[in-house]
A = this chain, B = another copy of it.
Amino acid sequence: MRPRRSREDFWIAQWTRALRSPRLAGLRHGPGHDCAVLAPPSGGMDLVLKTDAVVEGVHFLGSTPAPLVGRKAIARPLSDLAAAGATPRAALVTTGCPGKKSATRLQAVYRGLARAARRWNISIVGGETVRTRQLLLSVSLLGTVPRGQSPHRGGARPGHLVFVTGKLGGSWPLRHLTFNPRLKEGQWLARKNFPSAVMDLSDGLGADLPRLARMSRVGFRLHLQKLPLAPGADVRQALSQGEDYELLFTVPRNKAARLRKTWPFTTRLTEIGVCLPSRSGFQTGGLALQGYDHLR
């Protein structure tokens, strides 16, 4: 007697057919086994880990084209790897699926996920499907970065200048689905050792800059008139809408001229403020600092 596969096995086979991602060099075994097993990176590299999720009704809508949902699920944690100066290698994908009705939509989500994995050369080495009330994808990424070279949020000092890539605000309805994580820019910044601190902007400058400042134990003055605004966005939106997925970073003053001069990208680079001693607080010329709050 050979029983029919369960509905779960059937759908997992359907979905994963869409998941032809690049094969990772050194992958010993991957999807279909209990764990992914892979050779460690060659010498001189650190490992970089990040997890991030997209949830229906929060990060995308029922009306969002399904392939863009899959793309965003990969692109969000990639933006964090960009801040860390890392190169992505492998991904684990957990899918929360509300049942049969979502199965067709999920296949299209997986096509978008697979396309994104190919584009950024990421091997999807494992995953999981669970039953949830709303569609969601949780993606964990493994990347690598040259040893000791990854910047973090904690190294800004008073006097360091604050920079941002790209433009801020107006991410909905479209850019939050189609943005390009600043991987090349982040890798270049880390390799050249420019940033004293760096993070990616996901909840809006108004929420994220205070986080960087707290981790570095500094205050700051923000030059609101210098904020690079996306078309149609005003300063308030640039501070609070979130989902910009740009890099926010600080640079010692004596490196700033060289940064501007050698910046090799067409991506816009803007100086938007300066770090102050902690006691000076967060100076914005009176505008309230508030980003997107997931639990408000």
Hey, which bits of chain A sit against chain B, CB under 8 A?
1-3, 5-9, 11, 28-29, 32-41, 45-53, 55, 57-59, 80-81, 83-84, 86, 90, 92-94, 96-97, 99-100, 103, 125-134, 136, 138, 140, 142-143, 145, 147-148, 150, 152-154, 198-200, 203, 207, 210-211, 215, 281-284, 286, 288-291, 293-296
Contact = CB atoms under 8 A, between A and B. Distances in A.
B281 A1 contact: yes
Contact of A153 (B32, B38, B86, B148): B32
A57 to B, nearest CB: 8
Nearest to A133: B133
Nearest to A45: B40
29 contacts: A1-B284, A3-B289, A6-B295, A6-B296, A7-B295, A8-B294, A11-B295, A28-B148, A32-B215, A33-B84, A35-B48, A35-B49, A35-B50, A36-B49, A39-B47, A40-B46, A40-B47, A49-B92, A49-B140, A51-B93, A51-B128, A51-B140, A53-B128, A55-B96, A58-B132, A99-B295, A100-B295, A129-B295, A130-B294
Given A6-B291, A100-B295, A138-B51, A152 B283 contact: no
Contacts of A142: 47, 49, 142
A219 B9 CA distance: 18
B8 A293 contact: yes
A196 to B, nearest CB: 14
A118 B207 CA distance: 32
Nearest to A79: B34
Given A1-B282, A3-B210, A138-B138, A49 B90 contact: yes
A126 B49 contact: yes
A293 B7 CA distance: 7
Which secondary structure dominates where chain A touches chain B? mixed
Contact of A96 (B53, B92, B152): B53
Contact of A1 (B3, B129, B289): B289
Contacts of A49: 35-38, 90, 92, 125-126, 140, 142
A75 to B, nearest CB: 14
A284 B1 CA distance: 8
